[in-house]
């Protein structure tokens, strides 16, 4: 039987994942879309818009479209509100991250989830990638011993997206721990298999700040041809059009966190948004007494250095043979298909999303108040 899928907020990320839904799964159909930009989307999609029920209101779609599953791809500050509408109807849900951007929304979402029968797949592709799956297998085997320290890093080469486009508005995004570290905190939680208990963090804004006028566009700036960040330069992908050195440019441009876990071990994490070209890196080093395991999504390599014997193991993955996010996007879609079909359980549940968002919010609070924060719901 064909499964009817509805989308609330047809943004770039969700459009990339679900835009060719019927090609990925012949038993699925993109049946309905709710988006305030309805007319604009219909015009841009052309013939592909035919056969889709279109709505401007999410409740209207949920009440009228007879759906088997729902995808939420709105801007971040609306994730909780839209998710609660779906949870009340007990429908399978694919929810973009971050699942919430404030403590208030996080608690509302937790309560709504606990009262719902919905299965939820949170868009955490990194823990689904072949690199992390292999790392998890090795960690669980005991080969490197119990993991007693983790060093994780994310040097983002496409940082411009967070300063040139709507992502620069922290009232929408909640800041860059929630935007980026939410993925990294999740895969680290998955790999170590323990509960975080405390976090301290710092963040700084050293590069993407300045005195250019609010609302200035690159095309209108007198430095548009000389500025390294100009979106008019052919080597810069046009993530948006706003000047990233204007007084209204939001978001920190680097951040770090120390996370303590229940055994007393700790994780160090650092993210940066002005690294470029070969300085890109995203991955982690996990240290046990017997050995150290390290991986990087940009190289597709996982390496194990044994501590007490002269042996190094290296695994390399063919990145060209993988779909988005190092092979994680396809796994997310497969998992969502399983919960829609009633044949499986979520591998990235809303409990995972809630914990990661809580860690990010606590990291933000720590950085803003110069305090250690306990990772607890009360």
pLDDT (tens digit per residue) in 130-160: 999 999 999 999 999 999 999 999 999 999 9
Specify the number of domains making up the chain.
3
User: 160 and 213 share a domain?
Assistant: no
pLDDT, one tens digit per residue, over 340-349 is 999 999 999 9
User: Which pLDDT does position 110 carry in this prediction?
Assistant: 98
Look at residue 118 and tell me if it is in a domain: yes
Q: What pLDDT, on a 0 to 100 scale, did the predictor assign at position 46? A: 86
Asked whether the beta carbons of 259 and 269 are under 8 A apart, the reply is yes
The pLDDT of residue 326 is 82
Model pLDDT, residue 186? 98
Confidence of residue 233 (pLDDT cuts 50, 70, 90): confident
Q: What is the DSSP letter of 217?
A: B
Give mean pLDDT, residues 288-304.
Answer: 97
Same domain, 81 and 217: no
pLDDT mean across residues, the chain: 95
259 and 163 within one domain = yes
> Do 182 and 266 have their domain in common?
yes
Pair 8, 81 in one domain: yes
Mean pLDDT of 227-254: 91
Residue 192 lies in a domain: yes
d(CA 163, CA 208): 7
Q: Is residue 352 part of a domain?
A: no
194 and 282 fall within a common domain? yes
Residues 153-212 have pLDDT tens digits of 999 999 999 999 999 999 999 999 999 999 999 999 999 999 999 999 999 999 999 999
Q: State the residue range of the domain holding 240.
A: 209-249
Mean pLDDT across the stretch 349-373?
98
Give DSSP secondary structure letters for 9-65: S--HHHHHHHTTHHHH-TTEEEEEEE-TTHHHHHHHHGGGGTT-EEES-HHHHHHHS
| Residue that finishes a domain, picked among 197, 230, 249 | 249
Percent of the chain with pLDDT strictly greater than 90: 86
* pLDDT value, residue 269: 98
- Do residue 265 and residue 278 come from a single domain? yes
Same domain (yes/no): 176, 310: yes
- Judge if 192 and 296 occupy the same domain: yes
- CATH number, domain containing residue 183: 3.30.360.10
The answer to the question of residue 13 being in a domain is yes
Burial of 37 (0-12, 13-18, 19+ CB in 10 A): middle
């Amino acid at each position: 039987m064909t499964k009817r899928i509805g989308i609330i907020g047809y943004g770039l990320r969700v459009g990339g994942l679900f835009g060719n839904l019927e090609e990925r799964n012949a038993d699925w159909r993109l049946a309905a879309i709710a988006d305030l930009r309805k007319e604009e989307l219909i015009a841009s999609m052309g013939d592909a818009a035919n056969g889709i029920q279109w709505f401007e209101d999410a409740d209207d779609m949920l009440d009228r479209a007879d759906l088997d599953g729902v995808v939420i791809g709105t801007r971040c500050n609306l994730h909780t509100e839209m998710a609660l509408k779906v949870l009340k109807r007990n429908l399978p849900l694919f929810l973009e991250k971050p699942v919430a951007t404030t403590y208030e929304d996080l608690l509302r979402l937790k309560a709504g989830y606990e009262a719902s029968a919905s299965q939820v797949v949170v868009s955490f592709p990194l823990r689904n990638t072949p690199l992390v799956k292999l790392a998890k297998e090795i960690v669980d085997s005991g080969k490197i011993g119990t993991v007693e320290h983790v060093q994780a890093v994310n040097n983002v080469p496409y940082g411009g997206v967070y300063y040139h486009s709507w992502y620069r508005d922290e009232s929408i995004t909640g800041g860059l721990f929630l935007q980026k570290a939410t993925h990294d905190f999740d895969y680290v939680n998955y790999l170590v298999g323990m509960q975080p208990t405390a976090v301290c963090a710092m963040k700084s804004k050293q590069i993407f700040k300045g005195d250019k006028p609010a609302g200035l566009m690159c095309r209108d700036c007198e430095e548009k041809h000389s500025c390294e960040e100009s979106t008019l330069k052919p080597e810069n992908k046009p993530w948006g059009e706003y000047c990233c050195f204007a007084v209204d440019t939001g978001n920190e441009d680097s951040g770090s966190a120390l996370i303590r876990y229940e055994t007393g071990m700790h994780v160090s994490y650092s993210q940066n948004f002005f690294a470029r070209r070969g300085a890109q890196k995203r991955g982690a080093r996990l240290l046990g007494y017997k050995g150290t395991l390290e991986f990087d999504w940009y190289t597709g390599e996982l390496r194990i250095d044994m501590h007490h014997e002269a042996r190094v193991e290296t695994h390399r993955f063919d990145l060209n043979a993988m779909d988005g996010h190092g092979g994680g996007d396809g796994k997310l879609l497969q998992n969502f298909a399983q919960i829609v079909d009633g044949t499986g359980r979520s591998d990235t549940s809303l409990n995972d999303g809630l914990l990661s968002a809580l860690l990010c919010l606590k990291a933000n609070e720590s950085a803003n108040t110069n305090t250690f924060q306990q990772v607890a719901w009360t």
